[in-house]
Amino acid sequence: MSYVVLDTDVASAILRRRLPGSIEARLTGQSLAITFVTVGELTSWTLRRNWGARRLADLTAWRRHVVTLPFDDLVATTWGTLDARAQARGRPRPINDMWVAACCIAYGVPLATFNVKDFEDFARHDGLALVGV
């Protein structure tokens, strides 16, 4: 069974039941994962939007079916490498995008995102595998 990491945009589309069928088909048969970054972004999103008990319960139930990639030394050193390389190329990247990319690269899993342009540099220069969505 292979894993695919969902960027926050794809995870939120799943939670809102607005994932296009073509993308859903590409994820069928894959084990889904999110990063610790997505956990934080989803938490912030639910609080800022005042989610009620039912929606929070739906999120909790959904999270039971996905793996969360954690922060650890490997991810931290991968992030540092990505940051240094991006700075050297004159293309600093958003911090959260770098953390997501670092998790995927460190654990060798592809990333499903709607924001391919945000991750293209990591794919081109650092070996990030992208699932075209």
- Mean pLDDT in each 10-residue stretch from start to end of the chain (133 residues)? 90 88 83 96 93 91 94 97 96 94 97 92 96 71
Contact 121, 87 (CB under 8 A): no
Contact 94, 83 (CB under 8 A): no
Position 40 scores a pLDDT of: 95
Position 20 scores a pLDDT of: 84
| Model pTM above 0.75 | yes
Q: Which CATH architecture does the domain made up of 3-132 adopt?
A: 3-Layer(aba) Sandwich (3.40)
Position 59 scores a pLDDT of: 92
